[in-house]
Amino acid sequence: MGSSHWQDSEERGRRIMSDELGRARQMWHLLEPLHAVLYYAPEAFEEAAALGYRTDERWPSYFAWRAAPLGDASAVRVAGAFHSFSPAMVDEYVPAAWSVASSAAVLAARTRAVDRAYRTLLGEACVAADTAEAVALLRRVTDAADTADRPLAAANAALPWPDEPHLALWRAATVLREHRGDGHLTALAHAELDPVESLVSFAAVGAAAPEVFASRGWGGEEWHGARQRLLKRGLLTDDGTATESGRALRAEVERRTDEAAAAPWRGLAGEERERLVELLGPLWVAAIGSGMLPSETTLGIGKV
């Protein structure tokens, strides 16, 4: 066989891989808002208040809701799993969260919160045949997800599947988004970016405004120190924007993240993935159209 044959084969392989990674990212974009409803829905704040959490800001309930599958976890464990939050911020909310309510009580309230929020948000779609069909496809993907060395994905995957389609939908969205997030931390480690450097470098490529990243609790000196370290590595310019090398490194982080997230989706045939996109579309529109979710987050959806 001639070299042109191998070149054509390599090019086809690259196109297939690019398409696969693009599909994994598309599914993340569709599922992330469905998961994030928990952190912003009025019904969730009501359930949190009933447990005794402050609701004048979202962080007391956020840390409780998201960390509860880990059990009554220590601040060190939560900081490692959440990664981008400063240890000082985590210390403020964990383990204090478990003195308000046990992780088991939080999990039960979390289910109630999702149930109520989804019934308000999705209405009859909660029990629609289309939602049940989407869940059947998502269960196959979720069951195929390797959760080894992925603490948040593993903890959520260990929880039982609810019988109600809308609750199963949220469970699947949560396992898959945490699976992706856990894989993202591995990609950041490979790029030798520590937690605050990961935020500084992401802000430098325009993923979100710096004040959005400031919500993770890092102080000015910590942010400045990270910028100086990245400047020495040739990843930032003097004005804090990314150099060509900095953009390339962030692109590599995203590529590795997509690769790690893509594996569970390979079990669906092309037409099944297209059908799932069709089924999730109206639910995504409902979540985005609700107005409760922020237009800009530290995830950089739509920016990278």
For residue 213, the model assigns a pLDDT of 84
Burial (CB < 10 A; 0-12, 13-18, 19+), residue 157, is buried
Q: pLDDT tens-digit profile of 160-208? A: 999 999 999 999 999 999 999 999 999 999 999 999 999 999 999 988 8
Q: pLDDT tens-digit profile of 52-91? A: 999 999 999 999 999 999 999 999 999 999 999 999 999 9
Whole-model pTM: value is: 0.91
Q: pLDDT tens-digit profile of 76-130? A: 999 999 999 999 999 999 999 999 999 999 999 999 999 999 999 999 999 999 9
Q: At 303, is the pLDDT very low, low, confident or very high (cuts 50, 70, 90)?
A: very low
Q: pLDDT tens-digit profile of 257-302? A: 999 999 999 999 999 999 999 999 999 999 999 999 987 776 654 4
